[in-house]
Structure 1
Amino acid sequence: MRTVSLIAAAGIVLFAIQPVFAAQTFDGLWASSKRDCRDREGPDSKTMIDLDNVIKGKPAPLVDRYENHCRIDRKTPAGDGLVLSATCFEFWDDYNKGVNGSKVTIKLAPGANGTIKIDGKPHLLCKRKDDLPKAR
């Protein structure tokens, strides 16, 4: 009985010291600098990612940048990141109508210290998805 107790205790200790790795989430508001995280109008590097977005009850994953609203058509795992095939629109009206879009590929990958890389460029988290206002 003592051996079983020692084995159980050793198992608990080994489990407790194992690092816990959570999958990187890409959802949220990201920017290439703290300055761009500020809430102001105009062009900047802010990028909002919502891979679980729903519009009118239907899945509508989205990557939204200044004057560049992208509907995600396909998500493909790539190592520890994702490759997104998307259709991007300059105007929300075009996005809603599905006209005048251009096909693009967006690459997302985990970065150092909680950052992510968007198309190879580092971005830091401005706001988590849960802290953003609810959209459309």
Structure 2
Amino acid sequence: MSVPDWIAKCDNLSLLQQGLENAKAHQNQEVIHVIGKRIEFIKENSPIEIAFRKMLQKYEELLSLKNGKATRATRLRPKYHKDGAVVCIEYLVKLNNRTSGFNLLVDNKLANLTCEAIVIENKEMFSEEAVRMSQKRLSRIT
């Protein structure tokens, strides 16, 4: 059985999910594999994923400078690998208090890299509460 051409061109995650469910129902392992790889590619290359990885890299760089040794975000990295950027960002911006990562980035004049800034730039991907809390938190620093 061959793999449909539309999969390689599709950027719509909902459509790909439907195709994946259909392939699973028909036990078409080849299509399941190809759609799974396409979904993974789209998620890894989305603007939110790229912005989150950039933020995480800069945060760890600043943390390492602050601590005088290589330091990783030991709680954030596993959460990111388990849940992805959108879930992590939503979680972080909804916390009642500013995170150490937010504070470190802001203290180094990098508020534009914070999760809150990512939310503001991609409002359609986040809850109204996350958007509201991000706007509020960012307004307090400018």
Q: TM-score, normalised by structure 2?
A: 0.27
Q: Which has the higher strand share?
A: 1
Q: TM-score, normalised by structure 1?
A: 0.28
Q: Which has the higher helix share?
A: 2
- Flag the structure with more relative contact order, 1 or 2, with Cα contacts below 8 A and sequence separation at least 6: 1
Structure number with greater Rg is 1
